[in-house]
Amino acid sequence: MLDSQGKHSLADVVPFQGIRYDSERFSDLSDLICPPYDVISPQEQLSYHDRSPHNVIRVEFGLERPDDSPHDNRYTRAATTLQSWLRQGILIQEDRPALYLVEHRFAYQDSQKSRFSMVARVRLEDFGSGWVRPHEVTIGRAGEDRLRLMRACNANTSPIMALYRHRGEGVLPLFREARGRAVYQAVDRDGVGLSVSVVTDEGAIARVRDFFADKTFYIADGHHRYETALAFRREKRIGWSCKPEPVDYVMMTLTDADDPSLVMAPTHRVLRGLDDRRLPLLKHELDAYFDHEILPPSPDADATLEDWLATLEQRGERQTSFGLYGLDGRSLRLLTLRQKPAPLDEPGSLSSLDVYVLHRSIFHQLLGITTREMAEVCLDYTRDARGALAQVDSGECQLAFLLNPTLVSTMLAVADEGNRMPQKSTYFYPKTPTGLVMNPLWDD
C-alpha cells in the first residue's frame, strides 16, 4: 500500500514461486543443504562439495579455480548450475505462489526446542523508512561477493533472517493444518532437524499478509544480503512504477522475537599481528577503565572452560564484562567495566554493550587498531571458545576475548535507536540453511 508521497505505508509480505529440490526425488535434504556462505570455513566448503554432486554449495559458495576468468568463474558456474539443475528436474519451480513454513528441532542446554519460522518475499525498504531495521555494521567485501552472485543467478539463494514483535502465538495458528504436511526433512551439520511445509492455501496467505501489515522487521542475520538486494534493485529498476516486480522483494525467514526457542550464541574474538611490545603496556592501560580478576586453570581443561564461562555469565548479568586470554599465561583475565572511556560516554544501549565496549575501548583506543585492519588483517571471529584459547596457546593468535551472548532485547533496542553494533555481535542459532528454497527474481 502506498501513502500520499508514493511511499509504502504498510509492510508487504507475499508468497512466491520458489525454487526447491524435487521432493519426489529428494525427500531428505541432509546431503544437499549447506549453511549460509558467511559461516562456512574453507575446509567446510570443500566438504560440502564432496558430500553430493547436487549440494547447493555449488550455487551458494562455489570453489575458485586458478584459471578463473571474467567469463568463467564461480559466479558464472553458479548460474550455469542453477539453470542446469532446473532443466534436469533436480530443482523445480513452484507452479503457484507459496509460503514456506520451516520447523527447527534442536537440543540446547539439556532441553529439546522447536522453533517455527516462515520464508516469504518481503518488499524491500530503504533503512531510512523504519520498516526494516539493521543492527550491525557491514564491510564492503562480502557485499560485493553477494552482488556478483545475485547478478549471475538473478535469484536470492539464501534467506535473510528477520525478527518481528508480536504478542501472542505468532504465525503458526495462521496456517492451521499446514504444519503437518512437510514436503521434506533434513538434518544440518549441527544435528538440527528441519521440516519444510509448502503452503499455497489462499486463505492462509491472506491471513499472513494481514498479520504482517503493521510489523517492523529487524535484520537478525544477513545484513550484507539485504544491502545487496537494495543495490540490485537500484541496478534493475529504471524509473518509478507502482507495479511491484520480483526485484522489489527479498527472501526472508521471519521469526518471532519472543519465541522461547530463539537462541543467541556468543561470537568470540581472536587477535593476531600485534606488536609484541604493546602487550605488556596493555595490562597497565586496562587498569584505567576495567577491574580485573585472574581466573587460574585447573588440571581439567573442559571443567576450566566451563567454570570460566559460567563466571563470565554471572558477571555479565550485573556489569559489562568479557574475558581476556593471552596476557596472563594459561589464566583468564576477567574484565569488568569500571569507568567508560571518553568515546563511550554517550547515551543509548550501545554504551554498555560488552562487544561495543571491547571494540571501541580496547581495539580502537588502547590498541589503535583501525576498522580496516580489523576487517582485513588481525581480527577473526569464532563460536568455539575452546578453539579460541587453543589458537593463543599454539601461537597462531596473540589474544582471545571471550564474550557473553548479546540479549535479543538489546539487539532490538539498538536497532530501534538507529544505532549499529560491531560486525558479528550476534549469532542467532540455529540458522535457516541454504537449499530449502530459493527466490527467483525473474518474472513469475
For the stretch 9-36, pLDDT in tens is 567 999 999 999 999 999 899 999 999 9
Question: How far is the C-alpha of 376 from the C-alpha of 413, rounded, in Å?
Answer: 29
How high is the pLDDT of residue 6?
A: 44
- CB of 255 closer than 8 Å to CB of 162: yes
- CB of 28 closer than 8 Å to CB of 186: yes
Question: How far is the C-alpha of 332 from the C-alpha of 312, rounded, in Å?
Answer: 10
Of the chain, the percentage scoring pLDDT greater than 90 comes to: 67
How high is the pLDDT of residue 174?
A: 78
Q: Does residue 348 register a pLDDT over 80?
A: no
State the DSSP code for 404.
Answer: P
Give tens-digit pLDDT for 388-425. Answer: 999 999 999 999 999 999 999 999 999 999 999 988 89
Band (1; pLDDT cuts 50, 70, 90): very low
Give tens-digit pLDDT for 206-216. Answer: 999 999 999 99
Helix (H) or strand (E) segment spanning residue 212:
helix 202-212
Segment 246-262 shows an average pLDDT of 94
State the DSSP code for 265.
Answer: E
What would the grid cell of residue 335 be?
Answer: 574484565
Q: Does residue 5 register a pLDDT over 60?
A: no
**Amino acid type, 84:** S
What would the grid cell of residue 366 be?
Answer: 588502547
Give tens-digit pLDDT for 284-329. Answer: 899 888 999 999 999 999 999 999 999 999 999 988 999 999 999 9
Give tens-digit pLDDT for 55-103. Answer: 999 999 999 999 999 999 999 999 999 999 999 999 999 999 999 999 9
- CB of 235 closer than 8 Å to CB of 131: no
Query: For all residues of the chain together, what is the average pLDDT?
Result: 89
How high is the pLDDT of residue 191?
A: 94
Helix (H) or strand (E) segment spanning residue 183:
strand 182-187
Among left, alpha and beta (phi > 0; psi -120 to 50; other), residue 210 is alpha
Bigger pLDDT: 415 or 141? 415
Angle between helical axes of 74-88 and 140-153 (0-180°, round to 10): 40
Q: Does residue 351 register a pLDDT over 50?
A: yes
Question: How far is the C-alpha of 180 from the C-alpha of 208, rounded, in Å?
Answer: 18
State the DSSP code for 302.
Answer: H
How high is the pLDDT of residue 9?
A: 52
Question: How far is the C-alpha of 420 from the C-alpha of 239, rounded, in Å?
Answer: 31
How high is the pLDDT of residue 76?
A: 98
pTM, whole model, 2 decimals? 0.90
Segment 335-358 shows an average pLDDT of 77
What would the grid cell of residue 275 be?
Answer: 606488536
CA trace torsion 162, 165, 166, 170 (10° rounding):
20
What would the grid cell of residue 289 be?
Answer: 577503565
- C-alpha distances (whole Å) from 374 to each of 270, 276, 283 are 10, 17, 21
Dihedral pair phi/psi, residue 22, rounded to 5° = -65, 110
Question: How far is the C-alpha of 314 from the C-alpha of 387, rounded, in Å?
Answer: 22
Of the chain, the percentage scoring pLDDT greater than 70 comes to: 91
End-to-end CA distance of the chain: 21
State the DSSP code for 356.
Answer: H
Question: How far is the C-alpha of 188 from the C-alpha of 162, rounded, in Å?
Answer: 20
Q: Does residue 202 register a pLDDT over 70?
A: yes
- CB of 170 closer than 8 Å to CB of 253: no
- CB of 257 closer than 8 Å to CB of 163: yes
How high is the pLDDT of residue 347?
A: 58
- CB of 100 closer than 8 Å to CB of 437: yes
How high is the pLDDT of residue 221?
A: 92
